[in-house]
Every structure is written in C-alpha cells, then in structure tokens.
Amino acid sequence: MKALHFGAGNIGRGFIGKLLADAGIHVTFADVNETVVNALIERHSYPVKIVGEDCLVETVNNVTAINSTSSDVIDLISQVDLVTTAVGPTVLKIIASAIAQGIEKRANVGSDQLDHDQLRNKQALNIIACENMVRGTSQLKQMVYEHLSAEGKAFADNHIGFVDSAVDRIVPPAEVGETDPLAVTVETFSEWIVDQTQFVGDIPDIAGMECTDNLMAFVERKLFTLNTGHLITAYLGVLAGHETIKESIEDTAIRADVTAAMQESGEVLIRRYGFEPEAHAAYIEKILGRFANPFLRDEVDRVGRQPIRKLSPQDRLIKPLNGTLEYDLPNAHLLKGIAAAFLYTNDDDPQAVELQAMFAEQGFDKTLAHYSELDPESEIVKLAHQAYLALK
C-alpha cells in the first residue's frame, strides 16, 4: 500500500507519517522545505523521540519525499491508495488544486492500461485531512471540487473518499541545539479518529487509527478540551510572564482557571453527546497531565498564535461558549479565556497584529463580534468585555 502525505513538518513526520509507515505503508512526503525533502530522499528514514514517563527513540523507515510544487505530486495522486495532510488550515486551499489535478489524471487513466492492483487503486482513493479543524476533510473536498471538471466530479463521487478525522498529539518545535533536520520529538499520547462512514472501498488497517460512526463527538471532545485548555493556558501564561505551557499549567491560579474552563466546555459535551461525567473528568485530568510533560518545551507564543482563527465561530473559544448558551450553562472561565486573547500581542504573528489594530480602532465589543459572529449588542459580549476589563 502506498500513501502520499502533504506536510513533512514535525506533525507530519512525528504523528501521521509515523503511523502510516509503522503500518507497513510506503509513505511519500510532499513539502516545499528542500532541506527536509532532500534528507528524506537520501536517507529514507528519520528518528522520532517519544517522551512520557520514559524516553525512547524509534526509527521510521520506508519513506521518501518530493517537492509539493512538483508535477510528480499529480502523478502520485493518480497512483496511491491514500492521501493524508498535516499542513495547517490555510495551506489546504493551496494544495487543493494539485489534488484535483491528480484526481482528473486518475480518472483519465485507461483501464486497459492497468494491471489488477492499479485498477483497484483507480477505483478507490481515500483522502484524510489530519488538521486542527472541524470536518477539515469536508472543507478540503469543497476546495478540491472547485477545481474539478464535471467528469472529474462524477469520478470523485464514486471513487474518492473524503474522510473526516480528529487528531490529537502534542508535537513541539525542534529542540534547541538539534542539528538533524529530520529529528522530531512527540509525546507518548496520540489519537487519530476517522469517520468510517466516509471511506470508499476497504478501510485500511492502521494501528493507531480508530474508526467511529459518531466522529463529531470526538472532534468536539478534543476541540473543547485539549484545544480550549491549551490555548487558555497559553494566553494566561503570557499574562503571568511564563514562557512555556508546562510553566503555565504548574501555576496554581492558571491551572484552576484552565480546569474550570474545560469543565464548562465539558458540560456541553456531556449534554450534547452523553459522555459519562466521571470518564470526561478523567479525560480532563489526562489533558492537564500532558500539558505538564517535563520533556516537552511547548512555548506559549507558539500555542497562542493566530488568535483570529481561534476566535472564529467553529473554533476552540467561541464554539464551546455557544454550547454553554445553548444549554444555559456557566461560562465565566471560557469568557476569561476569550478576554485573554485580546491581551495577546505578538508582532511576528499577522493575526495578532490585525486583532490588536481592529481592537484599537473599533473597541472590544465590535471586534469580538466581527470575528466570532456574536451579536455585538448581546449580553454575552458585554460579559466578555467585563471579563476583559477585570483581567486587564
């Protein structure tokens, strides 16, 4: 079995690419980083340091790479069994055109030119976007279909599975002093859950990939817990002068606020999906423990970047807040996290700069309403403003 994986960064190599290669799948990474691409072509392997209670280094084999701007990407999409991504939400739109061209080429390969294995490949290709997005693959599908001909769309409708997934693994930037461009460090915990109803053909057997017919429950569990807690830890950590997530979550006051925010978002999950309260409380404690992993240097500025995206209606601050409004639940600590986003400044992050510029010009209520799509005259926006004034 062969896979094309877009994104040879730390997440691509340390998480999805590793799971695929460990399952015996030949993985070709597609990326624009020539240093990483050339090293993968030369070595066909790379080390992954896994840190938890113990530390160990595993070698990932049976891999190679191509430049993602090369026409070879289109050829590969016409041949492989699986396409995955770990490129970030903004890059999906960029690669959508290449994916569409690959699908068109796949559709136009004459069946009389194919052997049995190739014909099977032509009949079923599954694409999985492994991003921090709600239904990210469905969003990618819409982008891809914008580039397909009528014939290409008809082929994709029958032969291409766009499979949504939920992914969870903390993969920090390279360690200080690391000279190997392929070395990557990851935490022990990983979770990759896919929507089994969206596959075309056989579902591949990949250890570490879990199938469900109720994906949204797990998408929102991760979004409302890991992502919400991670971000609020970062923003409150910045305000307290901490540099890392570990330092921040070990601050007693921050840990109390973050725990309370995750409990507020957790009540939404319990009402919406029927999660057992005791089991979800244990899940929250596991997340808090991951934040405190002594072997991961996860900087608060990395986690806090792109505040505009994170204040959008479907993301980790506003979506759980809207859930508390839907079920008439407490939300004071989620509001504190939203308020803290307005105190996050980072001159190297265009979104942070844009947020602060609009905030200075339009004020809190209009700025929050603009990005979150909340009503600027609503009580919840007024409460968020009060939380900002109290935090400031």
Per-residue pLDDT reduced to its tens digit, 311-346: 999 999 999 999 999 999 999 999 999 999 999 999
Start-to-end C-alpha separation, the chain: 55
HSE of 296 in the Cβ direction (CA atoms, 13 Å)?
28
Check the annotation: does 281 bind a ligand.
no
Q: Taking 80 as the threshold, does the pLDDT of residue 115 lie above it?
A: no
Pairing of strands 26-31, 63-67: parallel
Check the annotation: does 147 bind a ligand.
no
For residues 261-283, give the mean pLDDT: 98
Check the annotation: does 266 bind a ligand.
no
What is residue 225's predicted lDDT score, i.e. its pLDDT?
Answer: 96
What is residue 113's predicted lDDT score, i.e. its pLDDT?
Answer: 53
Check the annotation: does 52 bind a ligand.
no
- Beta strands (DSSP E) in 132-284 are 160-163, 165-168, 184-187, 191-195, 209-212
What is residue 117's predicted lDDT score, i.e. its pLDDT?
Answer: 56
Check the annotation: does 116 bind a ligand.
no
What is residue 271's predicted lDDT score, i.e. its pLDDT?
Answer: 98
Q: Taking 70 as the threshold, does the pLDDT of residue 121 lie above it?
A: no
Residue 214 CA to residue 201 CA, distance in Å, equals 19
Check the annotation: does 6 bind a ligand.
yes
The amino acid at 216? M
What Å distances lie between residue 40 and 68, 113, 128, 133, 180, CA to CA? 14, 31, 22, 28, 11
Check the annotation: does 8 bind a ligand.
yes
For residues 275-304, give the mean pLDDT: 94
What would the CATH number be for the domain defined by 217-391?
A: 1.10.1040.10
Check the annotation: does 102 bind a ligand.
no
Check the annotation: does 201 bind a ligand.
no
Q: Structure pTM?
A: 0.82
What is residue 256's predicted lDDT score, i.e. its pLDDT?
Answer: 98
What is residue 176's predicted lDDT score, i.e. its pLDDT?
Answer: 76
Pairing of strands 63-67, 209-212: unpaired
Binned at pLDDT 50, 70 and 90, residue 134 comes out as confident
Higher pLDDT, 285 or 114: 285
Distance of alpha carbon 92 from the chain centroid: 12
Q: What is the dihedral of CA 348, 354, 360, 363, to 10 degrees?
A: -140
For residues 355-372, give the mean pLDDT: 98
What is residue 340's predicted lDDT score, i.e. its pLDDT?
Answer: 98
Residue 146: DSSP 8-state: T
**Per-domain residue ranges of the chain:** 2-213, 217-391
Pick from 125, 101, 296, 142: nearest CA to 200: 125
Check the annotation: does 12 bind a ligand.
yes
For residues 293-297, give the mean pLDDT: 87
Pick the CATH number of 2-213 from 3.40.50.300, 1.20.58.220, 3.30.2130.10, 3.40.50.720: 3.40.50.720
Check the annotation: does 370 bind a ligand.
no
Residues 6+ apart with CB under 8 A from 68: 6, 30, 31, 32, 95, 98
Check the annotation: does 199 bind a ligand.
no
Across all residues in the chain, what is the average pLDDT? Answer: 94
Pick from 174, 192, 267: nearest CA to 17: 192
Binned at pLDDT 50, 70 and 90, residue 68 comes out as very high
